[in-house]
Amino acid sequence: MASNQQVKLFGTVGSLFVTRAEIALKLKGVEYEYIHESLTNKSDLLLKYNPVHKKVPVLLHNEKPICESLVVVEYVDEAWTGYPILPSDPYQRALARFWSRFIDDKLLPAGFKAAWNPDVKEREKGAEEATEALKILENELKGKFFNGDSIGLVDIAALFIAFWMPIIQEAGGLDLYRAETYPKLEKWGQEILNHPVVKGVLPPREHLLAFFKTRFQSIAASKGLLVKKIWIPLATGLEAAKRHMAEKQEVRLFGIVGSPETTRVEIALKLKGVAYEYVHESPTNKSDLLLKYNPVYKKVPVLAHHEKPVCDSLVILEYVDETWKACPILPSDPYQRALARFWSKFIDDKVIPAIFKASLNPNEKEREKGKEEVSEALQIMENELRGKFFHGDSIGIVDIAAVYVAFWLPIIQEAGGLQLFTADKFPKLEKWTHEFLNLPYVKPTLPPREKPLAYYKNLFHSLASSK
Ligand SMILES: N[C@@H](CCC(=O)N[C@@H](CS)C(=O)NCC(=O)O)C(=O)O
C-alpha cells in the first residue's frame, strides 16, 4: 500500500465493531496504526473525531475520520482497490447492505437484550427475537459464505454469531445458539473463524470470556438477578425471500400513502426520472406479494426491479443510485460517500426514534427525555448543514433521508401542540426545509398535509384518553 497514506484505527480490545474494521483493512492489505482507546476514559481525539456517537471504531484516513463500523467497511472497500468486500452488481450490493443492516438492527439488539436486560421477561423476549433472527440468517446462507465463496460485508457483520455469541452465552449460562439448530451457520462459523485474516484479528477467547463473566456477575450482584436458562424453540421458520414472481414488471414500488420511507424512494425515483408503478399496500391488510418480497420485516417500501425485491429505504436509495446513474444522490468520492452514509444512518438511528419518544411515548418522563434528545439531534444536524443542501448545492441521500424532519416533524408537533423544531432555534434547518419541500420532484410526492395531520391528532387523542 502506498506509504503516503496515513491510516489510523481508534479501537478497543475485544470490540466486535472494531474487529469489523480491522478485517476490512487486512483483507485489502492496508497498513494502519492501531490506537487503543479506553472506553472509561476516552481520549480528546476520539471525542473530536466521533463527536456524535463518541464510540469506536473510528478510522482516520489522511486526517479524515470515518465512524460507524459498517460505514467504515464500505469506505475501506471503496477507498482501496484489491480484495472486493462488496459485490460489484448493484442488486447484490443492495442485498449485502440489507443483511448487514439486519444484523445490526435485529440480531445484535436481540442478543444484547437476551443477555443483559435487567427484566427477565425482556430477556426472554430478546432470546425469542435472537432465535428468529438466527433462523432467518440460517435460511439466507446459501454458500460457503453469505456472498458465495469468499468473505464479504455480511460475513464481517455476522462474525458476532461465530465468535462473540458463543462466548457471551457461555459466560452467562445462556442457551441462545446451538450448533445443531443452525447447521449451516455452524459450518460457516468454522470457516470464518479459520480464515487467516479473521484468525489474525480476533481477540483472545479466554480474555473475552473472563470479561463477560465479570460483567454478568456484576449485573447479577447489583440487581439480585440470576441469569435464567432460556431456550425458546422457533415456532415457525420464516421463509427466506423468494425472488421470482409470475408477472413481469420492471420497476414497482410497494408503498403506503403517508409513509415517510416510501416518500424517500419516490423522491429518488422522480429525481432520476425512473418510471415506476406504485402498488398501494394497506397497513392492516398487507398483500401476499409484499409479504413474499419482504418476509423479514413485512414492511414498505419494497422496490421490485425486474422482479427482484430490494427492501429498507436507505438500501433502496443506494440501489437506485447505483442502477440509474443520472442525478447522483451519493457523491463519488469515497470519503464523502462515507459521510453521506453516516448522516443518513444518524437520521434513522437517532433523529426519528427521538421524535417518536418525544411525541408518542406513553410515559411522560420518557417524553421529556425524548424532547431533549430531539433538540440535541437537530442541533447536530443544524451544525452539519453547511450549504443549501446537506451535500452542497444539489440534494442527496441525506436530504432525502431527512424528509421526515422537513415534512413530518412539523406536522407531528402541530398535532401534539409540541415545540420541537422551531425556526428561531434551528434557522438553517428551517431554510433548508423550505428549499427542499419546494423542489419540483419533492412537492408533488408529499401526501396532502391534512391527512397525516388528522392521523397524528388522532394518535395524540388516544394517547391522552388512555391516561
Ligand atoms: N454502531 C456502532 C457501534 C460501536 C460501538 O458500540 N462501540 C463500542 C465499543 S464495542 C463503544 O465505543 N462504546 C463506548 C460507549 O458506548 O461509550 C458501530 O457499528 O461502529
Query: Is the fold of 7-79 the same as that of 90-223?
Result: no
CATH class of the 90-223 domain in this structure? mainly alpha
Q: Which of 413, 323, 335, 341 minimizes the C-alpha distance to 375?
A: 413
Cα 330 to Cα 78: distance, rounded to the nearest angstrom? 13
Nearest-CA residue for ligand 1 atom 2 is 68
Domain boundaries, the chain: 7-79, 90-223, 251-313, 334-465
> What does the pLDDT look like over 26-81, one tens digit per residue?
999 999 999 999 988 999 999 999 999 999 999 999 999 999 999 999 999 999 99
Alpha carbon separation from 206 to 38, 170, 194, 212, 396 (Å, rounded)? 20, 11, 17, 10, 46
Cα 216 to Cα 370: distance, rounded to the nearest angstrom? 29
Q: What is the mean pLDDT of residues 318-327?
A: 93
> What does the pLDDT look like over 130-154, one tens digit per residue?
999 999 999 999 999 998 999 999 9
Whether omega for the bond prior to residue 328 falls within 30 degrees of 0, making it cis, is no
pLDDT band of 119, cuts 50, 70, 90 = confident
pLDDT band of 266, cuts 50, 70, 90 = very high
158 Cα–ligand 1 center, Å: 16
Nearest-CA residue for ligand 1 atom 6 is 55
Ligand 1: nearest atom to the Cα of 39: 14
Alpha-carbon Rg of the chain, whole angstroms? 23
Contacts of 450 (CB under 8 A, 6+ apart): none
Ligand 1 binding pocket includes 350 (Cβ within 6 Å): no
- What pLDDT was estimated at residue 232? 25
Task: Enter the C-alpha cell of residue 193.
Answer: 473463524
Q: Which of 41, 47, 56, 70 to mutate to test the pocket of ligand 1 (most atoms within 8 A of CB)?
A: 56
Q: Which of 319, 328, 175 minimizes the C-alpha distance to 251?
A: 319
Q: Which of 111, 116, 230 minimizes the C-alpha distance to 173?
A: 230
| Residue that the C-alpha cell 398535509 belongs to | 449
- What pLDDT was estimated at residue 225? 38
Cα 346 to Cα 352: distance, rounded to the nearest angstrom? 9
Helix (H) or strand (E) holding 134: helix 120-140
Cα 70 to Cα 318: distance, rounded to the nearest angstrom? 14
For residues 104, 110, 112, 114, the Cα torsion angle rounded to the nearest 10 degrees is: -170
Amino acid at 85: I
303 Cα–ligand 1 center, Å: 31
Ligand 1 binding pocket includes 15 (Cβ within 6 Å): yes
**What share of the chain has pLDDT > 90, as a percent?**
79
- What pLDDT was estimated at residue 275? 87
- What pLDDT was estimated at residue 223? 52
Tally of CB atoms within 10 A around 124: 16
Cα 464 to Cα 255: distance, rounded to the nearest angstrom? 30
| Cβ contact 321:329 at 8 Å | yes
Ligand 1 binding pocket includes 68 (Cβ within 6 Å): yes
> What does the pLDDT look like over 219-256, one tens digit per residue?
766 654 333 322 222 222 222 222 223 233 489 999 99
Contacts of 13 (CB under 8 A, 6+ apart): 36, 203, 207
What is the second-level CATH architecture of the domain 334-465? Up-down Bundle (1.20)
Q: Which of 115, 232, 124 minimizes the C-alpha distance to 178?
A: 232
For residues 109, 58, 76, 148, the Cα torsion angle rounded to the nearest 10 degrees is: -20
Ligand 1 binding pocket includes 113 (Cβ within 6 Å): no
Q: What is the mean pLDDT of residues 433-459?
A: 93
Whether omega for the bond prior to residue 452 falls within 30 degrees of 0, making it cis, is no
pLDDT band of 440, cuts 50, 70, 90 = confident
Cα 161 to Cα 129: distance, rounded to the nearest angstrom? 14
- What pLDDT was estimated at residue 464? 86
Task: Choose the weakest-confidence range: 217-221, 268-272, 321-325, 405-409.
Answer: 217-221
| Cβ contact 298:291 at 8 Å | yes
Bridge partners, residue 311, by sequence:
302
| Cβ contact 6:58 at 8 Å | no
Cα 111 to Cα 233: distance, rounded to the nearest angstrom? 15
11 Cα–ligand 1 center, Å: 9
pLDDT at residue 2 is higher than 50? no
Q: Which fold has domain 251-313?
A: Glutaredoxin (3.40.30)
68 Cα–ligand 1 center, Å: 8
- What pLDDT was estimated at residue 143? 93
Cα 363 to Cα 321: distance, rounded to the nearest angstrom? 40
Helix then strand then coil, % of the chain, to nearest 5: 55, 10, 35
More confident residue, 114 or 441: 114
Helix (H) or strand (E) holding 216: helix 205-223
Q: What is the mean pLDDT of residues 340-357?
A: 97
When the pLDDT of each residue in the chain is averaged and rounded to a whole number, the result is 90
56 Cα–ligand 1 center, Å: 5
| Cβ contact 100:360 at 8 Å | no
Q: What is the mean pLDDT of residues 76-92?
A: 97
Cα 227 to Cα 114: distance, rounded to the nearest angstrom? 10
- What pLDDT was estimated at residue 463? 87
pLDDT band of 348, cuts 50, 70, 90 = very high
- What pLDDT was estimated at residue 230? 27
| Cβ contact 392:398 at 8 Å | no
Q: Does domain 7-79 have CATH number 3.40.50.720?
A: no
- What pLDDT was estimated at residue 306? 92
| Inter-helix orientation angle 205-223/165-172, to 10° | 40
Q: What is the mean pLDDT of residues 88-92?
A: 96
